[in-house]
Amino acid sequence: MDLTDSAFCPRYHKAVEVIGKRWTGVILRAMLLDVTRFADLRAVVPGLSDRLLAERLKELQEEGIVERIVHPETPVRIEYRLTEKGLELHDVVYTLSRWADRWVPLEATATT
């Protein structure tokens, strides 16, 4: 592999900037575990405000990773679902989870 050409990849750079954004990684993990409602997502992530969750979901929609589904019931029910693009992040989240289980000591998580 020619390092000069390949050591920087703009697609990867863009991906890590989108997914690595504060809270986005945890929101994606929860959605992969089938948490789809706004209030449930907020409840899953300690310290995440309504405003920030709404902002992140909007960004993920703009990236085509999440879609907002409105069920026309009374009262209206809204779900956030991963698109195919979003669902295919499963392996990324899974390998990072495994790495974290192996390498991140629980005490290191106290301040986050």
Strands (E), 36-88: 66-71, 77-82
How many residues touch a copy of itself (CB under 8 A)? 48
Question: Does residue number 20 form part of the binding site for a copy of itself (CB under 8 A)?
Answer: yes
Measured between alpha carbons, how far is residue 30 from residues 36, 40, 42, 110 in Å?
8, 9, 10, 20
67: its two tokens: 């879609």
Residue closer to a copy of itself, measured from CB, 76 or 103: 103
| Contact positions vs a copy of itself (CB under 8 A) | 1, 3, 6-17, 19-22, 24-26, 29-30, 33-35, 44-46, 85, 88-89, 91-93, 95-97, 99-104, 106, 108-109, 112
